[in-house]
Chains A and B, each alone.
Chain A
Amino acid sequence: MSPGAWHRFADSRVLWSFRHDKVAIVSFAVMCVYILLSFSAPLIAPYNPYDPTTIDIMDSEIPPAWLENGDTRFALGTDAQGRDMLSTILYGTRISLTIGICAVLLQAFLGITIGLISGYFGGRLDNFLMRVADIQLSFSTLMVAIIVLAVFQALFGTELYERLAILMLILVIGIAEWPQYARTVRASVLAEKKKEYVDAVRVIGLNPVRIMFRHILPNTLSPILVISTVQIANAIVSEAALSFLGLGMPVTKPSLGSLINSGFEFIFSGSWWITIIPGIVLVILVLVMNLLGDWLRDVLNPKLYKE
């Protein structure tokens, strides 16, 4: 970033509003902690949950350290296989965040490209692409994902699936939700392309691709930023739901969703921590992202200026 751009950011209303919004500050801080802890999991986690040699079945279902029968070796207790909950949650959050962010990048790539083309060229192409988006939207993400993932498992076997689980989840969630972006971008493009600066670059003779990506796209970034935060939260929830249904991450490489699922059988036998603790971690993560998205929407929408 050039110094000019940095000054512009420092003086901007976005930063001012951020400094004066406690919810935004707390959400942002929590979010940073999440990202920092989960992506440095291999460095800070006390155990490696992916390494079977460190797991002892005799340690299974130990409650968190502060409870009766708790063990100081396992701060948040262990699950049914004797894995340290703290380490597993750290690794699981990393997987959940990776899937969420990558799926949203894929959604954004597809949606922005299709939305730009649709809005800029208009006519039949626009009609066709938007009807495809309608069809895609009429199937819920979960339904599409369940069908695709179940068919994949049936066709290629669970073993291959477990190796490709992260990739498959990113692809499925990414492809199922592109219309959200496409519609938002198209709407902004329709508003922007009527403005005279677009006519001015057309008079210069630039080609449409350059006009779309260099001139129109930067002016549609605010709504894209807003839906991105909400979409990451959505993608994480979708992934958790799929994992909970047994179609997401395998038990050997659990995400937050599959952790919640694996503890679900033991919740009535008293081992509540296997489900509840990852559940709370997931809820806080999603809540924080939605709060940030809300704040961003308020700030970037000039019609909602507050005094």
Chain B
Amino acid sequence: MTVGSGRALVEVRNLAKEFPLQTGFLEQLHFNHGRISRVRESVKAINGVDFDVVKGEALCVVGESGCGKSTVARAIMGLLKPTSGEIRYENKRIDTLKGKNLLPFRRKMQMIFQNPYASLNPRMTVQKTLQEPVRFHYPDLSPAEIGEKTAAVMQSVGVDPSWTVRYPHEFSGGQRQRISIARALAVDPEFIVADEPISALDVSIQAQVLNLLMDAQEQRGLTYLFITHDLSVVEHLGTRVAVMYLGTVCEIAPTRTLFATPQHPYTQALLSAIPRLNEVRPNHIKLRGEVPTPINLPKGCVFHGRCIHANERCLHDVPRLRKAASGVQVACHAVEEGRL
């Protein structure tokens, strides 16, 4: 699938989120060289993220720890208020909505969390956990209908509906994640944000849960925003991939294209790090240095300090995402100028 072939369900425009480090007034006061100054620093978790999620696709967001993947997911779900930027759902701006106005979108958008041990309320039975969202979003349903609906959704994720009277601690990690998925599916959403839904599970269970998610997509016509750092998962599940580095998107491309011909220098380095069985002498691209701190972002391209293709322009100009080939968007001056 290429960009523009489908309707954009979710549009993220120039999204930024900063977390202030010094929240109290007294913490902001610094004393140096005999002077008191007020210092306000912030962690720039994401800065200027742009992408669309096309209806019916699974957009995978990859990147290393701390690159802002989860912040993007939480901002889209309204769990975090973005510092600036816009989030649109079916062309309606949702990041400024509050309370009742947001409810229709809450039903259409659901989230699956990373840690199945923390994402279920330990004091509520599975039945209560699953029925609560249904009762809340469909107040017209009778208790019997709610029971049927939750039983059906439990069946579809492979959890025996007769287990509903049990508490979360009586289930294994994989079963709990199935229950979390059931909770998200119970309100019949269109769009699901999955924040590393399989990274806390055993490898053997990972495949099961992944297949479950793909089956659910097929049966219900879901659209996914799939946050992960596991490139093999991306290859398996993703329609398109967005690669993130230090709070910005470097490259968005259809999965096959990205794995075959990565364009951005960071994507190239990332993909070269995948171990291959048939390689005798692996040809990894070794990056110099460390990821810079998100408190003091580098000027210009955030990747310039570690990029072998960086030139004078990269030190000053922030690269924007530009269409490179069909369906591929890259944020790199070198690619744009054809130096690479």
Contacts of A200 in B (CB 8 A): 111, 113, 119-120, 180, 183
Q: Indicate whether A205 sits within 8 Å of B114 (C-beta atoms), given known contacts A197-B119, A200-B180, A219-B121.
A: no
Is B111 in contact with A203, judged by CB distance below 8 angstroms? yes
Is B110 in contact with A197, judged by CB distance below 8 angstroms? no
| B102, closest chain A residue (CB) | A205
Is A202 in contact with B103, judged by CB distance below 8 angstroms? no
Is B122 in contact with A219, judged by CB distance below 8 angstroms? yes
Is B136 in contact with A204, judged by CB distance below 8 angstroms? yes
Contacts of A207 in B (CB 8 A): 99
Contact flags (1/0) for A195-229 with B, using CB distance below 8 Å? Answer: 11101111111110000000100110000000000
Is B77 in contact with A206, judged by CB distance below 8 angstroms? no
Give, as a whole number of angstroms, the nearest-CB distance from B220 to chain A. 18
Contact flags (1/0) for B112-148 with A, using CB distance below 8 Å? Answer: 0111001111111000000011001100000000000
> Main secondary structure on chain A at its contact with chain B?
helix
B322 interface contact, C-beta 8 A: no
Contacts of A8 in B (CB 8 A): 167
Q: Indicate whether A204 sits within 8 Å of B132 (C-beta atoms), given known contacts A196-B113, A196-B114.
A: yes
B165 interface contact, C-beta 8 A: yes
Per the CB 8 Å criterion, the residue count for chain A at the interface is 17
Contacts of A204 in B (CB 8 A): 106, 132-133, 136-137, 187
Is B79 in contact with A197, judged by CB distance below 8 angstroms? no
Contacts of A218 in B (CB 8 A): 121, 123-124
Is A203 in contact with B120, judged by CB distance below 8 angstroms? no
Is A199 in contact with B121, judged by CB distance below 8 angstroms? no
Q: Indicate whether A196 sits within 8 Å of B106 (C-beta atoms), given known contacts A4-B165, A202-B79, A218-B123.
A: no
Is B114 in contact with A203, judged by CB distance below 8 angstroms? no
Give, as a whole number of angstroms, the nearest-CB distance from A269 to chain B. 59
Per the CB 8 Å criterion, the residue count for chain B at the interface is 31
Is B136 in contact with A197, judged by CB distance below 8 angstroms? no
Is A205 in contact with B121, judged by CB distance below 8 angstroms? no
Is B106 in contact with A199, judged by CB distance below 8 angstroms? no
Give, as a whole number of angstroms, the nearest-CB distance from B131 to chain A. 11
Give, as a whole number of angstroms, the nearest-CB distance from B168 to chain A. 9
Contacts of A196 in B (CB 8 A): 113-115, 118-119
In Å, the complex CA distance between A301 and B146 comes to 37
| B123, closest chain A residue (CB) | A218
Is A205 in contact with B136, judged by CB distance below 8 angstroms? yes
Contacts of B110 in A (CB 8 A): 203
Contacts of A201 in B (CB 8 A): 121, 132
Is B123 in contact with A219, judged by CB distance below 8 angstroms? yes
Contact flags (1/0) for B84-114 with A, using CB distance below 8 Å? Answer: 0000000000000001001100110111011
Which residues of A come within 8 Å of B, CB atoms? 4, 8, 195-197, 199-207, 215, 218-219
Q: List 10 A-B contacts (CB under 8 A).
A: A196-B119, A197-B121, A199-B74, A201-B121, A203-B77, A203-B110, A204-B136, A204-B137, A205-B136, A205-B137
Which 3 residue pairs across A and B have the least CB separation, nearest first?
A205-B106, A196-B119, A218-B123
